[in-house]
Chain A
Amino acid sequence: QTVTVTVLDHLERLALVDFRDAEGVERLQKAIQFADQLHEVNTDGVEPMDSVLEDRCLYLREDDVTEGNCMNELLKNAKEKVEEYFVAPPGNIPLPKLEERDTFLQ
């Protein structure tokens, strides 16, 4: 079963990463094929496992501030900033639709 272009487009939007070329799409196809082998295993009655430490209690520390005040250091690595703000381009604008995007999937 090949993956439809709709799904591929959907993936590019979700991941915000591009397939780049036919090889990229092929890679996904092969990955899915590979993963299909999982269905050979009988998992009736088996609970999913999130973590190997599931039998232990997660550590929660006291809600006390122990460090911080490192604004300058954190801002150092950002390319675009103004005073103490990270600068981002305008938001709430969805990625252009498939037909209008510069993508291989076209």
Chain B
Amino acid sequence: QVSAALKEGRVTPTELCQRCLSLVRSTRFLNAYITVAEETALKQAEESQKRYLRGQPLGVLDGIPVAVKDNFNTAGIETTCASNMLKGYISPYNATVVQKLLDQGAVLLGKTNLDEFAMGSGSTDGAFGPVRNPWSYSRQYKEKSVPKSHSEDEESNWVITGGSSGGSAAAVSSFTCFAALGSDTGGSTRNPAAHCGVVGLKPTYGLISRHGLIPLVNSMDVPGILTRCVDDAAVVLGSLAGHDPKDSTTIQDNFEPFELPDLTDVSKLTIGIPKEYHAPGLSSEILALWSKAADLFKNAGAKVIEVSLPHTCYSIVCYHVLCTAEVASNMARFDGLEYGHRSDMNKSTESMYAATRREGFNDVVRGRILSGNYFLLKQNYENYFIKAQKVRRLIANDFVKVFRSGIDVLLTPTTLNDAVPYMEFIKEDNRTRSAQDDILTQAANMAGLPAINVPAALSERGLPVGLQFIGRSFQEKQLLTVAKWFEKQVKFPVIQLEEVKRLDHAAFQHQKSASFS
């Protein structure tokens, strides 16, 4: 809708950019952005405006404000990964996905906050502080909150965004941008999408280039897409997917961008309900929502079958080993010599490296590096690392079997609960939390399958709850078509942000309509 408005001249790219920037300023308390690139954004908006005036926009994304998670390299803009190790690091190049967005004319507003080096499930462990879920400030959440004494205001009650792409999710959810890039290694795009009530798409591994995405786990990382509706996700996917000679793990098949059909007849669909996803700790609310969704499909004529993915319960353990092992390797590049933080210790190369890394990394990162090195020790390699790789194959095979038996798409919950208050969340350490929160999203990364979170309903506490669809490898069109049908049936409510309403009311009205496609 916004794209159409830009085309028709009802709003100009610079106006749009300025409104978004002012919204970013007024929602600063959310801490969603680490860096706001005001000058460059306005310049990009001006360029876009000139193109529209000539009647030659580059495409649907021309002039659309977007945000990018701070672990993607952006030329000339600080890229920190929310870590002291990279504070002050100005990337010399654009990640391929960032370049693709810019080539389409998108306006890059800034870099969003995350857990340090994308390790975590709350967006709470970064060097720039935690991200607050915009829904903490929504009327829907406030209405359902237990009234507290006057002194204990919402300052202590705010809920987390989920992670690790929490900043991106919060940015999209609070209307500061129309789409954001995240990354997904264990659920890092879908988890915050569920908690913030936005669409989070994890594409198939190998579809979108990882060149420029600071790697966590090379065999599982993918760039993720966060938008307010499924159609928008399809548009962004269309501009990002495809082979990249700079990333040899992208497949060479031709990718055709697609428009999503408006599905009316679901009778030819077979939806799988994996029973192992009824995990311990799944809230009864979400369980009920999941059932309701299954019924929705059934009543509309689709076949809904219970299936089994027997190794699901081991996916987290397997992930834990493989992730820490790959992290130990990937983090080795941070030695202070070529970029990033460098310690003053000068006695020897090794002691300089050690001091730099001791100063630059937080507990979570250091913990994972050490665990990873442990699993990679000669005496442990076979028992832990190789073993985990074997278990990975079992998990991937589970999915192959299920899809081979005629299932088109799997329907599962995305998270175990709705968003917890920050004060609750920090009571457990990062690893425990990740192990708990990634349980439903992790297996899709193991098997490299596409998965999407669609906001489904509000919980009793007034917070968003999402459901996840997992599709076949490289069948994003089918996956998104089903997701779009579901989204239409569910009619998830728009967030009613109180503080923001005070601001430029017209701007808010414009953006309330949620989509740009």
- A residues near B (Cβ < 8 Å) are 3, 7, 10-12, 14-20, 23-24, 27-28, 30-32, 34-35, 37-41, 43, 46-53, 56, 58-61, 70, 73-74, 76-80, 86, 88-96
Decide yes or no whether B348 CB sits under 8 A from chain A.
yes
- Which residues of A sit under 8 angstroms from B346, Cβ to Cβ? 89
Q: List 12 A-B contacts (CB under 8 A).
A: A3-B374, A16-B357, A24-B363, A34-B320, A52-B219, A53-B206, A56-B206, A61-B245, A74-B338, A89-B351, A90-B349, A95-B354
User: Among the listed stretches B104-112, B310-318, B490-498, which one makes contact with chain A, having 4 or more residues with CB under 8 Å of it?
Assistant: B310-318
List of 9 A-B pairs having minimum Cβ-Cβ separation, nearest first: A52-B448, A48-B389, A93-B348, A77-B339, A43-B390, A49-B393, A73-B92, A31-B371, A79-B342
Quote the shortest CB–CB distance from B382 to chain A (angstroms): 10
- The contact of B386 among A11, A27, A48, A51, by CB within 8 Å, is A48
Whether B367 contacts A28 by the Cβ 8 Å rule is: yes
- The contact of A93 among B205, B349, B375, by CB within 8 Å, is B349
Quote the shortest CB–CB distance from A105 to chain B (angstroms): 12
- Which residues of B sit under 8 angstroms from A79, Cβ to Cβ? 336, 342
Whether B367 contacts A24 by the Cβ 8 Å rule is: yes
Mostly, the B contact residues are helix
Decide yes or no whether B259 CB sits under 8 A from chain A.
no
Assuming A17-B354, A37-B317, A38-B388, is B337 touching A77 (CB within 8 A)? no
**A49–B319 Cα gap in the complex (Å)?**
13
Assuming A31-B324, A79-B342, is B206 touching A52 (CB within 8 A)? yes
- Which residues of A sit under 8 angstroms from B391, Cβ to Cβ? 38, 41, 43
Residue of B nearest to A66 (CB): B245
Whether A24 contacts B366 by the Cβ 8 Å rule is: yes
- Which residues of B sit under 8 angstroms from A91, Cβ to Cβ? 348-350
- Which residues of B sit under 8 angstroms from A28, Cβ to Cβ? 367, 370-371, 374
Quote the shortest CB–CB distance from A99 to chain B (angstroms): 15
Assuming A32-B374, A53-B249, A80-B342, is B92 touching A88 (CB within 8 A)? no
- The contact of A15 among B314, B351, B370, by CB within 8 Å, is B370
**Which residues 364-413 of B sit at the A interface, judged by CB distance below 8 A?**
366-367, 369-371, 373-375, 377, 383-384, 386-394, 396
- Which residues of A sit under 8 angstroms from B150, Cβ to Cβ? none
- 7 new A-B contacts, CB < 8 A, other than A15-B370, A89-B349, A96-B351, are A20-B358, A27-B371, A31-B367, A34-B320, A37-B314, A38-B318, A59-B248
- The contact of A24 among B89, B339, B370, by CB within 8 Å, is B370
**Which residues 201-228 of B sit at the A interface, judged by CB distance below 8 A?**
205-206, 219
Decide yes or no whether B435 CB sits under 8 A from chain A.
yes
Residue of A nearest to B352 (CB): A89
Quote the shortest CB–CB distance from B279 to chain A (angstroms): 15
Decide yes or no whether B90 CB sits under 8 A from chain A.
yes
- The contact of B435 among A34, A51, A59, by CB within 8 Å, is A34
Quote the shortest CB–CB distance from B383 to chain A (angstroms): 8
Decide yes or no whether B447 CB sits under 8 A from chain A.
yes
Whether A93 contacts B347 by the Cβ 8 Å rule is: yes
Quote the shortest CB–CB distance from B255 to chain A (angstroms): 14
Output the residue of A11, A24, A28, A41 with the most chain B CB within 10 A. A41
**A50–B335 Cα gap in the complex (Å)?**
27
- The contact of B317 among A38, A43, A77, by CB within 8 Å, is A38
Assuming A48-B386, A59-B243, A77-B92, is B353 touching A16 (CB within 8 A)? yes
- Which residues of A sit under 8 angstroms from B473, Cβ to Cβ? 52
**A15–B370 Cα gap in the complex (Å)?**
6
Whether A19 contacts B370 by the Cβ 8 Å rule is: yes
- The contact of A27 among B205, B384, B429, B435, by CB within 8 Å, is B429
- The contact of A17 among B340, B358, B393, by CB within 8 Å, is B358
- The contact of A11 among B206, B320, B373, B393, by CB within 8 Å, is B373
Residue of B nearest to A8 (CB): B370
Decide yes or no whether B321 CB sits under 8 A from chain A.
yes
- Which residues of B sit under 8 angstroms from A61, Cβ to Cβ? 245
- Which residues of A sit under 8 angstroms from B335, Cβ to Cβ? 16
- Which residues of A sit under 8 angstroms from B361, Cβ to Cβ? 17
Decide yes or no whether B80 CB sits under 8 A from chain A.
no
- Which residues of B sit under 8 angstroms from A86, Cβ to Cβ? 337-338
Whether A14 contacts B337 by the Cβ 8 Å rule is: no
Whether B250 contacts A34 by the Cβ 8 Å rule is: no
Whether B390 contacts A35 by the Cβ 8 Å rule is: no
Quote the shortest CB–CB distance from B53 to chain A (angstroms): 34
Decide yes or no whether B458 CB sits under 8 A from chain A.
no
**A46–B435 Cα gap in the complex (Å)?**
25
- The contact of A77 among B89, B219, B243, by CB within 8 Å, is B89
- The contact of A56 among B251, B373, B393, by CB within 8 Å, is B251
Whether B350 contacts A94 by the Cβ 8 Å rule is: yes
Assuming A18-B354, A52-B447, is B92 touching A59 (CB within 8 A)? no
**A12–B371 Cα gap in the complex (Å)?**
11
**Which residues 166-213 of B sit at the A interface, judged by CB distance below 8 A?**
205-206
